[in-house]
Amino acid sequence: MPLNAYLTLAAVLFTIGFFGVVTRRNTIGILLGIELMLNAVNINLVAFARFNADIVGMIFTAFTIPITVAEVALGLAIVILIFRMKRTAIADHLDILKG
């Protein structure tokens, strides 16, 4: 399979993840979108590593996956905290940055 196929897949996945981040009203949905975007990046890294015969991309990916897990754990913890304080997890209600 050519490189373009992998890249297209990654781009589609990234866009779907971004769409989720931007449109989901639930905070957990947003987190899921972020996960998709990260995985699209991982696909890119692996694809380039494979086609350039360079091990570095693989190593990056090996690092990224645990970091992603940690990030999700942290993100969910934050969401739970926010839910406790605000009694809501809807992103539209969280506008304390409003100018």
Partner 1 sequence: MTDPALPALLALLLPACAFVILAVVAPLRRRGRPAAYLSVLFAAGALVAAIGAFRLTMGGGFSEWLWAWIPAEAGPLATVGVLADGDSALMLVLVALVSFLVQVYSLGYLSDESMPSLGRYYVYQSLFAFSMTGLVLAPNFVQLFIGWELVGLCSYLLIGYWYTRPEAARAAVKAFWITKAADVGMLVGIVLLWRHTGTFDFLELLQMADGGIIPLAGLGVITFCIYLGASGKSAQFPFHVWLPDAMEGPTPVSALIHAATMVTAGVYLLTRTVWLFRLTPDVMEIIAWNGAFTALLAAVLACVQTDIKRVLAYSTVSQLGYMMAAIGAGFASDGFLHLLTHGIFKALLFLGAGAVIHAVGTNDIFRMGGLARKMPQTAIVFLVGTLSLAGVPFFAGFFSKEEILGAVLAGGFPGPFAMLLLAAFLTAFYMFRVVFVTFFGAPAAAHGADDRHVHDAPPFMALPLWILALLSVGIGTLFAFWHPKAEFEALGWLTPTAIVVAFAGIALAYLVYQRRAISADALASAFAPIRAAALRRFWIDDVFLFIYRGLMLSLAKLVGWLDRYVVDGILNVLSAWTLTAGDRLRRLQSGRAQDYVYGIALGVLLLLVWVRWPR
Q: Find the shortest distance in angstroms from Cβ 30 to partner 1.
A: 7
Write out the residues near partner 1 by the rule CB under 8 A.
18, 21-22, 30, 91-92, 94-99
Q: Is 97 helix (H, G, I), strand (E, B) or coil?
A: coil
Q: Return the amino acid letter for 99.
A: G
Rounded to a whole number of angstroms, the minimum distance from the CB of residue 11 to partner 1 is 13
Q: What is the DSSP string of 27-59?
A: HHHHHHHHHHHHHHHHHHHHHHHHHHT-THHHH
Question: Min. distance of Cβ 19 from partner 1 in angstroms?
Answer: 10
Nearer to partner 1 by Cβ, of 31 and 45: the residue is: 31
